[in-house]
Amino acid sequence: TGTATAATGPDRAPGGASVLATTLGAQAAESGRYFGTAVAAGKLTDTTYATILNREFNMVTPENEMKWDAIERSRGSFDFTAADRIVNHATARGQRVRGHTLVWHSQLPGWVGGITDAGTLRSVMNNHITTSMAHFRGKIHSWDVVNEAFADGTSGEQRASVFRNVLGSGYIEEAFRTARSADSAAKLCYNDYNIENWSDAKTQGVYRMVRDFKARGVPIDCVGFQAHFAAGGPPSSFQTTLSNFAALGVDVQITELDIAQASTTAYANAVKACRNVARCTGITVWGIRDTDSWRTGQNPLLFDGNGAKKPAYQSVMSALAATAAPASDAAALASAAVPASAAVPASAVSARNTAAALPTSFTWNSSNILLSPKSDATHTIDGLKDPSVVYHNGKWHVFATVANAAGYNMVYLSFTDWSQAASATHHYLDRSAIGTGYRAAPQVFYFAPQQTWYLVYQTGNASYSTNPDIGNPNGWSAPRHFYPSIPDIIADNMGNGGWVDMWVICDSANCYLFSSDDNGHLYRSQTTMAQFPNGFTNTVIAAQDSNRYALYEAANVYRVQDTNQYLLLVEAIGSNGRRYFRSWTSNSIAGSWTPLAESESNPFARSTNVSFPSGTWTTDISHGELIRARNDQTLTINSCRLQYLYQGLSPGAGGDYNSLPWRLGLLTQTNSTC
Ligand code: G2I
């Protein structure tokens, strides 16, 4: 186990590999992924089957029970009985459910296939989607909205089907739009087979469709790769395919994995392709035991007919465990081991993975100083502050304020590993079109609908620059303002404070811009996704405190993955004069905020709940950012073992505020229940 290994958490080996998990679901959860299986309702009473299902998996896909011929055998008459049995079994055990499938040319009752009138078919299709999604609303994590719509062979076109023939190729878009309206919380996926090999015409056809959907704002969140493989396993380009799709701004999943004869190497290769792509969020095998498989006689699964683990099971476990995921890379930098007793048994993981709610109190370990200013011939820097960070293409990308007595500008650096952070080159962004002068407190994210990186910062107004390539420090555009001038409500309430710390977060419909005034007010403006970055209006006070220091600045808002929660952090100045963070949650970005850990005695992060295994280098826990689970405008965090990149300060430092020697460090949560 990892107990004796300094500089690692309790459940990670030095390389970041997990060592405690004993089930597929728990092992996948170590890197934030799920491991699922197809389930047949009729087998839930088979005790061998149910024992493996309940023990190993934290996601399920009904193998046949949600197909059109199972649910709406005659027009308008819906029967969810068998599907409900699977959903109820799963949700009672903390397993998530993938809905499979709403629109598919196969397993389609004859009455649908016989429709020749477009108006009729359109209303039949939309009614089937809406009624099915409404029935399961709140219980389905992701839906295969459209299944297997592309043709095999070299055309790269949609296959002939009653939907395409009668409605035209736009039916897929219509299905996704209908699905989003029917259940705005479910992830909407396109699912297909034989799209694993990057150069195949079918793969390219699906890729073009997803790219087009993202460019035009058609709602699609994910692409499922069925991965029904012959004995050789995945094509060598599978990982490339997954990452190319992910780069379009969708999650990707392996949704129906089975491999003839289940060779250990073939299974390991399939798992590694997913594990190496950050947005590959999970793997589902198409059945539990070989005897449960649709591929009779091919023994393509992980358990034999008696329910015993096959060699491929072990190779999947090893492949899931190998190599650090981005978050564990950062975790490895937290300066000391947590006692082994803090380790949570693997059996708890699948339940935790579902109910990923945040705790109501926090404890942390802090790293030592990871990043300090680097002056050069034309930049003399005293403080490195206000970090923003994403993990993209195998690197951490950090943006921060650089400060000296003369004022503020910004810097960019990237590195593969936090242990390399101190040696990274500092690229001063005043050399880009961002230019010189007052620019501070950057926030970076990828705005997926425009396939563009945004850097949001303060200039006296709220400003932004864009860049197609986050790795190119010279690629940023000149500053543009979000507002024509300071909104009246801010001017009227800020007193002698400053208008600072702009923060953008979007849900599926709108984007919101938060800012602070160092005077006890948190402001929020709003625009639509389609209008972003323009149109921010309706500025309101989102939170306030009569003690200006209790609600001071550096506000962050995040979406908590797999929950309906948003998390608000605001920096306060404590009664001892030191900076710390308070936290609240809400079920919508524009909702009201409920206290989580928000007092000096129960803070989100304060010197009092942070341990410094290598020496207390700061008593301020100040302006920073949580490590996110993804890089897009949703600012999604995984609640499992939070990490917070922050600015800290030598406790004895004083004098001119702009010249203070701020440095950056990383907190890792130590009381996480996962
Ligand atoms: O064909 C393999 C999979 C390809 N991707 C989509 C999946 O939905 C599909 O799953 C298979 C199921 O594993 C089979 O179990 O889909 C088949 C067709 O829906 C399923 O087969 C059907 C038989 O065709 C029916 O005759 C049978 O009544 O299974 C039904 C239930 O056993």
Looking at residue 556, its pLDDT comes to: 98
Mean pLDDT score, 171-185: 96
- Quick: pLDDT tens for 579-623: 999 999 999 999 999 999 999 999 999 999 999 988 999 999 999
Is 196 annotated as catalytic?
no
What local confidence, expressed as pLDDT, does residue 29 receive? 85
Q: Nearest CA to 502 among 479, 524, 477?
A: 524
Query: How many angstroms is it from 195 CA to the middle of ligand 1?
Result: 19
Substitution candidate for ligand 1 out of 37, 39, 61, 64 with most atoms within 8 A of CB: 64
Among residues of the chain, what percentage have pLDDT more than 70?
A: 92
pLDDT of residue 586: 95
Q: Which atom of ligand 1 is the closest one to the Cα of 101?
A: 8
Q: Look over the chain and give the mean of its residue pLDDT values, rounded to a whole number.
A: 90
Residue 32: the pLDDT is 84
pLDDT band at 356 (very low <50, low <70, confident <90, very high): low
Distance linking the first and last C-alpha atoms of the chain: 16
Question: Tokens standing for 379?
Answer: 């930049």
As to burial, measured by CB atoms within 10 angstroms (0-12 exposed, 13-18 middle, 19+ buried), residue 655 is exposed
* Angstrom distance (rounded) from CA 648 to CA 615: 13
Q: How confident is the model at residue 368 (pLDDT cuts 50, 70, 90)?
A: very high
- 277-321 pLDDT, tens per residue? 989 999 999 999 999 999 999 999 999 999 999 999 999 999 998
Residue 668, H or E segment: strand 663-669
What is the structure's pLDDT at 61? Answer: 98
Q: Which band of pLDDT confidence, cut at 50, 70 and 90, is reported for residue 94?
A: confident
DSSP string covering 130-189: HHHHHHHTTT-SEEEEEES-BPSSS--SBPP-HHHHHH-TTHHHHHHHHHHHH-TTSEEE
d(CA 488, CA 523): 11
For residue 456, list its beta bridge partners. Answer: 443, 464
Contact of 570 with 522, CB cutoff 8 Å: yes
Contact 302, 271 (CB under 8 A): no
What DSSP assignment string belongs to 253-295? EEEEEEEGGG-HHHHHHHHHHHHTSTTEEEEEES-SBGGG-SS
DSSP secondary structure string for all residues of 450-510: GTEEEEEEESSSEEEEEES-TT-TT-PPPPEESSSS--HHHHHH-TT---EEEEEEE-SSE
Q: Which residues neighbour 276 within 8 Å (Cβ) at sequence distance 6 or greater?
A: 239, 243, 323
pLDDT band with cut points at 50, 70 and 90 for residue 630: confident
Would the pLDDT of 143 be above 70? yes
Residue 446 phi, psi dihedral angles, 5° rounding: -100, 120
pLDDT of residue 322: 74
Predicted local distance difference test score (pLDDT) of residue 20: 55
What is the distance in A from the centroid of ligand 1 to the CA of 130? 23
Structure tokens at 544: 């306030």
Residue 670 has pLDDT above 70, yes or no: yes
**Higher-pLDDT residue of 267, 30:** 267
Q: How far is CA 35 from CA 26, 321, 352, in A?
A: 8, 13, 14
Does the pLDDT at position 337 exceed 50? Answer: no
Mean pLDDT for 188-205 is 97
pLDDT above 50 for 327: no
Distance 106 CA to ligand 1 centre (A): 9
- Mean pLDDT across the stretch 516-525? 97
336 SS3 class: coil
pLDDT tens-digit map of 54-83: 999 999 999 999 999 999 999 999 999 999
Q: Closest Cα partner for 175 from 237, 105, 245, 241?
A: 105
Higher pLDDT, 442 or 17: 442
Q: Which atom of ligand 1 is nearest to the CA of 193?
A: 5
Q: Answer yes or no: is pLDDT of 347 > 90.
A: no
Q: Is 65 a catalytic residue?
A: no
Q: For the residues 178-192, what does the mean pLDDT come to?
A: 96
Atom of ligand 1 nearest to the CA of 293: 13
135-159: average pLDDT: 96
% of the chain with per-residue pLDDT over 90? 85
Residue from 30, 148, 196, 571 carrying the catalytic annotation: 148
Ligand 1, closest atom to CA 100? 8
Set 30, 63, 256, 571: catalytic member: 256
pLDDT for res 1 = 24
Nearest CA to ligand 1 atom 19: 107
Stretch 228-255: mean pLDDT, rounded? 96
Identify which has the larger pLDDT, 168 or 673: 168
Tell whether the model's pLDDT for residue 40 goes beyond 70. yes
Question: Which residues approach ligand 1 with their CB closer than 6 A?
Answer: 63-64, 67, 107, 193, 226, 256, 294
Q: Which of 138-147, 247-256, 542-551, 559-568 has the lowest mean pLDDT?
A: 559-568
Residue 67 alpha carbon to ligand 1 centre in Å: 9
Q: Read off the pLDDT of residues 453-504 as tens digits, 9 standing for 90 and up.
A: 999 999 999 999 999 999 999 999 999 999 999 999 999 999 999 999 999 9
Write the Ramachandran bin of 435: left for phi over 0, alpha for psi from -120 to 50, otherwise beta: left
Would you say 223 and 258 are in contact if contact means Cβ atoms under 8 Å apart?
no
Pocket test for ligand 1, best of 294, 296, 301 (most atoms within 8 A of CB): 294
More confident residue, 60 or 322: 60
CA 112–ligand 1 middle distance (angstroms)? 18
